[in-house]
Amino acid sequence: MQFDAMTATALVGATLALQVGMAATMRNHAGSPMAAALVNFAVGTMFLFVAVALGRGSLSGLAQVGSAPWWAWGAGILGGLYITASAAFGPSLGGATFLALVVAGQMTAALALDHYGLVGFPVRPLDAARTAGAVLVVAGMFLLAR
């Protein structure tokens, strides 16, 4: 197992709960979920610019982005949709329910992406254990949402 990568990923996942609340608060000040998402991405862009500029060879690597497949460019749009949804629906659903629904959706999509090896993922066929894990995640989502 990739314990370090798994731990780091779980910690990043924990920040999503904070992000939902922060985006919802920004929505109250920015006037709309889309405006809050715009502020979120502007701040994130500034942060990433500094991080990339300070990284070794990071800026030179940007020269290769033109060779990325067309669908890779959609990641920014999907990120914008997530932030907008968190600002729009997080407060009314609650943080735990919102994130449970997000995880259930992610799990369902990820199983299909893995099974067919789409958008850069290696093929990992759907089997009974993976299906059972997904069913438990979705069941947990229903328990949180009730």
pLDDT digits (tens, 9 = 90+) for 6-65: 899 889 888 988 999 999 999 999 999 999 999 999 999 999 999 988 987 678 888 889
Q: ∠ at Cα 112 (94, 146), nearest 5°? A: 25
pTM of the model: 0.81
Tell me: do 65 and 116 sit in the same domain. no
Among 89, 133, 78, 144, which Cα is nearest to 111's? 133
Q: Could you tell me the residue range of the domain that residue 113 belongs to?
A: 94-146
Q: ∠ at Cα 132 (95, 111), nearest 5°? A: 70
Tell me: do 83 and 128 sit in the same domain. no
Q: What is the pLDDT of residues 100-110, one digit of tens each?
A: 889 888 988 99
Q: Which residues contact 133 (CB under 8 A, 6 or more apart)?
A: 107
Sign of CA dihedral 127, 106, 2, 73: positive
Tell me: do 77 and 125 sit in the same domain. no
Among 73, 90, 107, the domain boundary falls at 90
Tell me: do 55 and 109 sit in the same domain. no
Tell me: do 136 and 83 sit in the same domain. no
Sign of CA dihedral 123, 115, 124, 75: positive
Tell me: do 114 and 81 sit in the same domain. no
Q: How far is CA 18 from CA 11, 12, 31, in A?
A: 11, 10, 20
